[in-house]
Copies of this chain bind each other. A is one copy, B any other.
Amino acid sequence: MQYTKPLAKLIEYFQKLPSIGPKSAQRMALHLLKMPGGEVEKFADAMIEAKNTIKYCEICFNMSSQSPCEICSSTKRDKETICVVAETKDLMAIEKTNEYNGVYHVLQGLISPMDGIGAEEIRIKELLKRVHENDVKEVILALSPSVEGEATSMYLSRLLKPFGIKVSRIAFGLPLGSELEYADELTLIRALEGRRAM
């Protein structure tokens, strides 16, 4: 079918968003057309404002409207512990637990030779510089248990050890609320390896 032109264009843009197919894009566009005109304008303004004001923090490379970001400039955060994550969304996931009080370092990617991403392409040298120039006691690697996450973790741990600091990695195992019988083998292997004395 032919969408009327301005609608077709809007649907096309919604489809550029992650995991949005043609059906969801159409639903969103039609929903938008039913919103009051003022709301649509504010939504559009919010997009442009966020894009124009949000930059990367010069210390940890978190996305923020200020640099250093809110976390790096907070006096309440423990600057001696750095949690290394791949992306800002991982940082957000950890912040939501309200349990971590250290600072972060966002690598902006993972080493992935298959995609042509080497150690130079991500923020590794900036991390080493931070550890070198500041009084850091522990680096926690919070990278996904994927091939790229494993490789990046191994690589980082080798580079960080010579600094004589504690380098740890988050635990992998059964997610809470899951059933052991449905866990995949790799998760079970990790859960067994990571067993702790009670």
Contacts and interface: CB of A to CB of B under 8 A. Distances in A.
B6 A17 contact: no
Interface in A8-24: 9-10, 12-13, 16-20, 24
Interface of A: 1-7, 9-10, 12-13, 16-20, 24, 26-33, 35, 37, 39-54, 63-66, 69-70, 87-89, 92, 95-96, 98
A30 B65 contact: no
Contacts of A64: 4
Contact of A70 (B4, B17, B66): B4
A65 B4 contact: yes
Contacts of A46: 6, 9-10, 12-13
Nearest to A94: B1
Lowest 5 CB-CB distances: which A-B pairs, in order? A1-B95, A44-B44, A6-B50, A10-B50, A13-B43
Nearest to A18: B31
A77 to B, nearest CB: 12
Nearest to A87: B30
A27 B89 contact: yes
Given A26-B92, A54-B4, A10 B47 contact: yes
A119 B6 CA distance: 31
B47 A1 contact: no
